[in-house]
Copies of this chain bind each other. A is one copy, B any other.
């Protein structure tokens, strides 16, 4: 669970204009000037807020001729609201704690003291924990050349090709024209409790 992303989500939603935009888009897509009109604000201001909303993956856009339509990404909305809601439930909190300590044990087992990966776990659950640990050093939104990504992985383990492939298979990253980028956490392979 990435604290930064959660904070970014809440910080972004903590603005009346952006909340109103989200409410508007919940009813269906709109283009920029329509939003500006309904909210009584200027287009630059709307662009500014849509950028913020895009940063947290909450809106995406599609172009039709000259006008750009903005869409709400419902799955992100549901997922991020859910994280805090779970804290209201003692059972869920206990689960999260257990998962955290279990996680930590696995990491300690599979990494040497100076941070190298000893070997790739065979068990799926542990393997995913290891991958989630590895990608913590990658930046969201940054585009990586294949070579650059290989170098990054190599600092943990020599078999960078296998690990790089696993990143794709398990949807931690996606590739486009030989360029790699992190997916948002909602898309990652899930470690079921």
Does residue A35 face the partner (Cβ distance < 8 Å to B)?
Answer: no
Count A-side interface residues using an 8 Å CB cutoff: 33
A40 within 8 A of B: no
A88 within 8 A of B: yes
Which of chain B's residues have a CB closer than 8 A to the CB of A7? Answer: 14-16, 19
Number of copies: 2
Pick from A12, A13, A89 the residue with the most CB of B within 10 Å: A13
Query: Which B residues are CB-close (under 8 A) to A176?
Result: none
Judging by beta carbons under 8 Å apart, are A77 and B72 in contact? Answer: no
Q: How far is B22's CA from A3's CA once the two chains are assembled, in angstroms? A: 12
Residue A87 at the B interface, CB < 8 A? yes
Contact surface of A with B, Cβ cutoff 8 Å: 3-4, 6-16, 19-20, 22-23, 26-27, 72, 74-75, 77-78, 81-82, 84-85, 87-89, 93, 97
